[in-house]
Amino acid sequence: AQKVTQAQTEISVVEKEDVTLDCVYETRDTTYYLFWYKQPPSGELVFLIRRNSFDEQNEISGRYSWNFQKSTSSFNFTITASQVVDSAVYFCALSVAGAGSYQLTFGKGTKLSVIP
């Protein structure tokens, strides 16, 4: 069975601070995909990034960066110089190959509040 743990339920930071959202996953499959989604109050789940299990290269996209470490089964997400518009719930998710590959296993989400 697959599992995604986001230990941080809620985080508050002051604007311009850096913040890291943690994600730890469990799976016995060797082929899998990891995702981060942003859910603002409007409700839409906004796709941020996908990473496959064979690519441990870290990625940077503007103020966002992701650190994938298979050794610790972690896929952490850092926002640099946070802004009020970053306030949202962030979900980490896992999809595996084989049976059940059609669905995303979500973590419980981390609510990020960026205070002006």
Partner 1 sequence: DTEVTQTPKHLVMGMTNKKSLKCEQHMGHRAMYWYKQKAKKPPELMFVYSYEKLSINESVPSRFSPECPNSSLLNLHLHALQPEDSALYLCASSQGKQLLISAFFGQGTRLTVV
Q: Which residues bind partner 1 (CB under 8 A)?
A: 31, 33, 35, 37, 42-47, 50, 91, 95, 97, 101-104, 106-109
CB of 60 to partner 1, least distance (A): 19
CB of 1 to partner 1, least distance (A): 14
CB of 91 to partner 1, least distance (A): 6
Specify the long-range contacts of residues 13-17, CB closer than 8 Å, at least 24 apart.
Answer: 13/82, 13/112, 13/113, 13/114, 13/115, 14/114, 14/115, 15/82, 15/83, 15/84, 15/114, 15/115, 15/116, 16/81, 16/82, 16/83, 17/81, 17/82
